[in-house]
Amino acid sequence: MSKVQELQSLEAAQQRLEAEIARNAQRIEVLRAELKDHNDLIDIIRDEAAKKNINLTDLAIALVPSLGKKAKASAPVSDGKIRRERKVKQYKNPHNGEILETKGGNHKALKSWKEKWGAEEVESWVTVL
């Protein structure tokens, strides 16, 4: 490659890079404006929450209820608290009409039903009280 061609190639590359820099500068300005709007909104929410004595965590959970479910599910069980009581399940056997109430799966009659008719079918007979 001759020196003239190398110079032309470098000048073309420089023009491309300068155009890209200009595009990036415009995008940076747009992003800065969006970030400023975002931060202004956060400041307004914090100020209003502080005025009304609202906890930001409670506010976030009110806006996105699934946040509260995740936080509760990940809470440690072994912090000395008693674990929640199990719900009573009522099973009604459609084959003989027998009704069985239990809080857990370790029940003699329930186990025999699951062996005889299958666990999936027996679980379809359940009603939570």
* pLDDT tens digits along 97-129: 888 888 877 888 888 888 888 888 888 888 766
Question: 21 pLDDT band (50/70/90 cuts)?
Answer: very high
Question: Is the same domain home to 7 and 69?
Answer: yes
Question: Is the same domain home to 43 and 16?
Answer: yes
Only one residue has tokens 């003699």, namely 108
Q: How many CA atoms lie within 13 A of 119 on its CB side?
A: 4
Give this prediction's pTM: 0.39
pLDDT in tens, 67-94: 877 545 555 556 667 878 888 888 888 8
Question: 15 pLDDT band (50/70/90 cuts)?
Answer: very high
Can you give the residue range of the structural domain that contains 67?
3-73
Question: Is the same domain home to 10 and 53?
Answer: yes
Structural domain ending residue among the three candidates 42, 73, 104: 73
pLDDT of residue 12: 95
pLDDT of residue 83: 78
| Cβ atoms of 61 and 68 closer than 8 Å | yes
Q: What's the domain count of the chain? A: 2
Sheet bearing 126-128, strands edge to edge: 99-102, 89-92, 126-128
Whether residue 34 is contained in a domain is answered as yes
Whether residue 78 is contained in a domain is answered as no
Only one residue has tokens 């079918």, namely 121
Question: 24 pLDDT band (50/70/90 cuts)?
Answer: very high
Question: Is the same domain home to 29 and 60?
Answer: yes
Question: Is the same domain home to 22 and 60?
Answer: yes
Question: Is the same domain home to 10 and 67?
Answer: yes
Question: Is the same domain home to 40 and 8?
Answer: yes
Question: Is the same domain home to 10 and 64?
Answer: yes
**Where are the extended beta strands (E) located within 10-88?**
none
